[in-house]
Structure 1
């Protein structure tokens, strides 16, 4: 005798239980337990993220903003003005033109910032994949439930039509 889960798999997906994809098996389990399927992706990812992940997200959000570009432009312009005009009057220029030390710091910053931003982008891609997977599960569950409701409505209509036909057949020929 087939188990309840096996009958559900056959009825809902038209497949044997061992032939179900992972998403279908997860949906089947949740239907069987009568659990809601929708989940908050942000909460799931936040629960899985480490301190380094959260730091990478913050660095990417700051480094990829207009505020950072504007502030960094001001710092660079100040550095160049300070080392070309202001400090040269007193002979305290610590990075004269062509600003080799500034280039070294910018290269170091780019070498560190690029992988951090890529880590954040990878986490966002993982979050997007999880969101798409959860959306698929919700859509599939919704489709299954709609089909189930349609089948119930069709059964009710057929039952009602059978009752009407029985009444019509039971009436005498003279229509009384």
Structure 2
């Protein structure tokens, strides 16, 4: 009965034969990391897919630590998503703006900022100024409740500006927090994309090397068959002569 398992040269445990990976198919950077921990691991050695994935994860962590210094919480979350085979976009969406409940003050600040930066506010404010001046000059002949130079109007405008400015600043500060959170999310997604591309290169290299090994085995079998056929032909010719 054919044995469908193999013994790993790293953990010395049995794994399915379909998970066997030859040392000759491993990228040099990963192979060096393995040989640093297991010096006896040579070109004739084998390991499993789960074991090489652990070394790949360690290689990525060391690479990030070397390039970026000490790993931050963002890099740790990216590595955790690799370990769990999960996506970052779902986690980011769960912690996004939609799940945050705005307070009454934040809602008012957003509405004031949106209205204060629109043409509706500009046109309505110009109409209010024109109406105020027209009532005092035309209707009351500059003898009304706020004659020229419109001291009461200046007081009202100063109060509006004094209240509107901090309210708009509150909305802008919250928008800056959302922008920072969005930039962190973009950084995490870009970082994972870069690492996934590196892992994809590793897998493609392994697939190419594995296919080359299979082609070489097929060629060897074909050569053996051709040699066997030639021997039979030669023997037949000798018998005929």
TM-score range, shorter chain: 0.7 to 0.9
Counterpart-to-counterpart distance in 2, 1:88 and 1:113 = 32
TM-score (norm 2): 0.61
**Does the CA contact (< 8 Å) of 1:9 and 1:16 recur in 2?**
no
Deviation at 1:46, TM superposition (A): 5.7
For residues 47-58 of structure 1, what are the structure 2 equivalents within 5 Å? 47=100, 49-58=102-111
What is the number of residues matched between the two proteins? 172
Counterpart-to-counterpart distance in 2, 1:61 and 1:82 = 30
Counterpart-to-counterpart distance in 1, 2:129 and 2:151 = 13
Counterpart-to-counterpart distance in 1, 2:86 and 2:56 = 15
Counterpart-to-counterpart distance in 1, 2:70 and 2:119 = 51
Counterpart-to-counterpart distance in 2, 1:81 and 1:40 = 53
**Does the CA contact (< 8 Å) of 2:61 and 2:79 recur in 1?**
no
Unpaired stretches in structure 2, ≥5 consecutive residues:
1-10, 12-50, 230-241
Question: Which is richer in helix?
Answer: 1
TM-score (norm 1): 0.82
- Asked whether 1:162 is paired with 2:210, we answer no
1:124 to 159, 162, 175: 175
Residues 1-51 of structure 1: CA deviation (Å, up to 9, x unaligned): 9xx9x8565133325999422211111223333332112499436605322
Aligned-CA RMSD value? 3.1
Q: Measured at CA, do residues 94 and 41 of structure 1 come closer, stay the same or move farther in structure 2, by a change above 3 Å?
A: farther
For residues 6-155 of structure 1, what are the structure 2 equivalents within 5 Å? 9-14=57-62, 19-38=70-89, 39-40=92-93, 43-44=96-97, 47=100, 49-88=102-141, 93-155=144-206
Runs of 4+ in 1 over 3 A off after TM superposition: 6-9, 15-19, 40-43, 166-170
The 3-state SS of whatever aligns with 1:14 is: helix
Of the two, which has the highest radius of gyration?
2
Greater shift after overlay, 22-31 or 66-75? 22-31
Q: Measured at CA, do residues 132 and 16 of structure 1 come closer, stay the same or move farther in structure 2, by a change above 3 Å?
A: closer
Which has the higher relative contact order, 1 or 2, with Cα contacts under 8 A spaced 6 or more apart? 1
Question: Which is richer in strand?
Answer: 2
Counterpart-to-counterpart distance in 2, 1:128 and 1:112 = 25
**Does the CA contact (< 8 Å) of 1:56 and 1:119 recur in 2?**
yes
